[in-house]
Amino acid sequence: MTLAGGAPPTVEAPKLALIGFMGAGKSTAARALGPDSADVDEVIAAREGRSVQRIFEQDGEAAFRELEERVTLELLDDPSLRAVALGGGAVGSERVRRALGRARVVLLDVEVDVAWERVAASDGARPLARDRRAFHELHEQRRPVYEQLADVIVPASRSGAIRTILPALDGLPADGARMLWATTASADYPVYVGRGLLTERGFWPRAVDGRRVVISDHHAGRLYGERLEPALAQIRIMPGEQSKTVAHAEIIWTEMVRAGVTRSDVAVALGGGVIGDIAGFCAATYQRGMRVVQVPTTLVAQVDSAYGGKTGVDLAEAKNYVGAFHQPAAVIVDTATLATLPAEERAAGYAEVVKTGLIVGGALWRRISGGAPAEDPEVIAGCALAKLRIVAQDELDLGLRQLLNLGHTVGHAIETATGYARYRHGEAVGLGLLAELRLSGAEELHAEVLELLAAAGLPVTLDRAVDVEQVIFATARDKKRTGEGPVPFVLCSAAGRPQIGQVVAPADLRAAIRELYG
């Protein structure tokens, strides 16, 4: 599904189409949805009196695909069925892809290693799962197709719980919007992405009830605050990283008390990364915790900071040093809000887009490096999905999630060394990416990223007034550091190949930062 906007809300699609790779749990989800659901592979096997494996062996793949297409189209047109689970390769048919436009398409999203483990246990019953390398290549080939078609993306780990997830779709326009389901050890929540969701359609998730208190900065609050009424209060602080302090958190807490806010109410974080962080932190701590809905209105927040539950404030000595993990109750991403961003703010957010593309590689990186605009809803949804996949495996930033810090060790240090006043967060991250790619020895990638950042209007050289030694000193206080050991870096030798926990020699770090002077 291409995320386009402007259309009025439509009636919910008459049928759910479950798609995904082998081992994603499509059959499990279909069974969970009840007797008015069908599994294409099971229907084929019952009609033919042979397993899919036997059909492959006796008739060949081409004959099976023709049969699969015919049965899939028949079931998708059957008005008595609520849901249809498609075979993993059915989306290769153009006729099937067109037919999916009449359904609400749910992708059961599975990581390739998990899928291999699941199908390996089937003792050769999957004809396309006998060679691990070919299996990986097929997964990489099909995943972008699945993602493009999907209206809803649910991790495979939740396939059996699909009935509890679907109510989150209530009220969501069936055209022009997408829901990503976020999973963590502590909480699951929906992420809604679409142009005009808030500004044109006034969407609010029906599953999130309660009175609202809207926390924003003066810019976002003036533009969009009334879209979230009725509210107990509209609390606004000055925009910018310098407002992300304990003192400003106390202002918010105090205003919440005066407005009569209780822990059963909902804090709405309306704005960019600063608002998302401080409002989330205030929600995590007010009366020992209340719900928060993130409504990001900047590019950096829409592609990165609104997801994953990291909240907090800065100290003068270091960025994000006081905070808490507090997953949102929902995230509403209206890409139309990016139209009101100043050009320099859009550029700053682009650094996070590039960072995510470098981490993920593959189709997302090809799209970004090929020049796709940062505000493209497909790019934003792709970046959000990438972060949700990582956080699902490491909520508390103990390992894999540190991949998301690519460019941030040096970037945060630049922010700290300049008092959070010289560079926007994204601008500092862009400089950090250049330094850390240089430390990675990725010469060609460094040149490619430098060109992308410069074309977006981001600084690619460091102000000579910035003291290199202060930046180095600030890296030593990075919050990823534990014990007495050196701060671990995330390095990236090629797109899609980041590595966490890398030790960097002081001389190499100094040289990489000095090189930023140009």
Ranking 61-65, 134-138, 172-176, 370-374 by mean pLDDT, the lowest is: 172-176
Residue 335, classified by CB atoms within 10 Å of its CB into exposed (0-12), middle (13-18) or buried (19+), is buried
Task: Provide mean pLDDT across the span 104-110.
Answer: 97
What pLDDT was estimated at residue 129? 81
Alpha-carbon gap, residue 391 to 310, rounded angstroms: 10
Alpha-carbon gap, residue 518 to 512, rounded angstroms: 11
What pLDDT was estimated at residue 11? 42
Q: Where are the beta strands (DSSP E) in 127-205?
A: 152-155, 177-183, 188-194
What pLDDT was estimated at residue 123? 57
Q: What share of the chain is helix, strand, coil (3-state, %, to 5)?
A: 50, 15, 35
What pLDDT was estimated at residue 39? 97
Q: Write out the residue limits of the CATH 3.40.50.300 domain(s) in the chain.
A: 16-175
> Residues 68-88: pLDDT tens digits?
999 999 999 999 999 999 999
Q: Write out the residue limits of the CATH 1.20.1090.10 domain(s) in the chain.
A: 396-515
CATH hierarchy code of domain 190-341: 3.40.50.1970
Q: Is the pLDDT of residue 3 over 50?
A: no
Highest CATH level, class, for 396-515? mainly alpha
Q: How far apart are the first and last CA of the chain?
A: 43
> Residues 251-300: pLDDT tens digits?
999 999 999 999 999 999 999 999 999 999 999 999 999 999 999 999 99
pLDDT band at 374 (very low <50, low <70, confident <90, very high): confident
Task: Provide mean pLDDT across the span 146-160.
Answer: 97
**Which comes out higher in pLDDT, residue 129 or 198?**
198
Q: Write out the residue limits of the CATH 3.40.50.1970 domain(s) in the chain.
A: 190-341
Q: What is the pTM of this model?
A: 0.91
CB 37 within 8 A of CB 82: yes
CATH hierarchy code of domain 16-175: 3.40.50.300
